[in-house]
Amino acid sequence: MAPRGSGLDWRGCALATPPGWDWPSAGCPPARPLDMASQLRLRSALALVTGAGSGIGRAVSVRLAKEGATVAACDLDRAAACETVWLLGGQGSEKVAPGGAHTAFQADVSEAGAVRRLLEQVQACFSRPPSVVVSCAGLTRDEFLLRMSEDDWDRVIAVNLKGIFLVTQAAAQALVSSGCRGSIINISSIVGKVGNVGQTNYAASKAGVIGLTQTAARELGRLVRHPWGHGIRCNSVLPGFITTPMTQKVPQKVLDKVIGMIPMGHLGDPEDVADAVTFLASEDSGYITGASVEVTGMRPSWGGRGQRSGTQMIRESR
């Protein structure tokens, strides 16, 4: 057994130590000095967030900015996107934004031309593609299967699934053509995994997001090589009920039923989802791609009681 502090592992092999580290007599590596700069996990990142004008997208924008990212906040509702940028301390919309400030953009993610123009505007504004892309834009048109209209089906699929296809494709094209690595995070839902009464359209769209993201992860991980490793990572986040304007439409009797199933006994906050997104956006998840991270307040796949949720695992990992 190599003596402690010798810099050798239990077999007597030299431990890989970063330059400048000297093994203290205790034999365990010193905790990496966490100065302020190293605590800003996204210091040089440009993050594009869709659906940034409300709820989870707004919380994600705030959290990424706190970690040092510059945020391109996109929403169908321009005023709402501008309000998010104002909350971040930025002044801008794409017309007046000085390069580098947080900036608001308007686009309907379900329209191919709008998404193409969005990526063009973001790159023109910041002279680089976004290295973090978080697709939060989404909507519900809930109805029982027997009564659901074709329009309700079409619109939910167009925004929640096709919208994520268009944004993921445009962002990946920009990153690959510039040889940049990146992290793409798509917001699905636990409904995409377990279904939900009144949501055949929404559940199908969110299940599709999971499959799209897993496939994109397989294709994009190898496309961009960097000395320090991975290419473009793609992961999805599957929230449970989160308190946002989207859930305000849910009948109280339904919410009461669901809350009874959640071990923590309450709905999640948008910040709970933002925590998981920030982890996946940062190098802390550098070897994670193709994953589906559940943020539901209960054990994975919405069953059982008392197990750790995705958020708990991430918090414990710090």
Ligand X SMILES: NC(=O)C1=CN([C@@H]2O[C@H](COP(=O)(O)OP(=O)(O)OC[C@H]3O[C@@H](n4cnc5c(N)ncnc54)[C@H](O)[C@@H]3O)[C@@H](O)[C@H]2O)C=CC1
202 is catalytic: yes
Partner from ligand LJ3UWUTL, ligand X, none contacting 106, C-beta within 5 to 8 A by type: none
Smallest Cα–Cα separation from 76: which of 23, 139, 26? 139
Which of 150, 193, 151, 137 lies closest to 310 in space, CA to CA? 193
Interface with ligand X, residue 275, by CB under 6 A: no
Q: Which position has the token pair 């000085």? A: 98
Single out the residue of 72, 99, 69 nearest to residue 85, CA to CA: 72
* Stretch touching ligand LJ3UWUTL by CB under 6 A, among 110-118, 140-148, 207-215, 271-279: 140-148
* Of 116-124, 194-202, 216-224, 308-316: span binding ligand LJ3UWUTL (CB under 6 A): 194-202
The catalytic residue among 202, 241, 279, 302 is 202
- Shortest approach of ligand LJ3UWUTL to residue 269 CB, angstroms? 14
Task: Report the alpha-carbon distance of residue 238 to residue 315 in Å, rounded.
Answer: 17
Site string for ligand LJ3UWUTL, 149-188 (x = CB under 6 A): ----------------------------------------
- Look at strands 182-187 and 103-106 and give their pairing: unpaired
Residue type, 177: S
Taking the C-alpha atoms of residue 293 and residue 240, their distance in angstroms, rounded to an integer, is 11
The verdict on 8 binding ligand X (CB under 6 A) reads no
Which of 48, 159, 161, 276 binds ligand X (CB under 6 A)? It is: 159
128-167 residues labelled b (16+ CB within 10 A) or e (exposed): bbbbbbbbbbbbbbbeeeeebeeebbebbbbbbbbbbbbb
* Catalytic residue annotation: 202
Contact residues: ligand LJ3UWUTL, CB under 6 A: 140, 142-144, 189-191, 194, 196-199, 202, 240-241, 246-247, 250-251, 253-254, 257-258, 261, 302
Contact residues: ligand X, CB under 6 A: 50-51, 53-57, 75-77, 80, 108-110, 136-139, 159, 163, 187, 189, 239, 241-242, 244-247
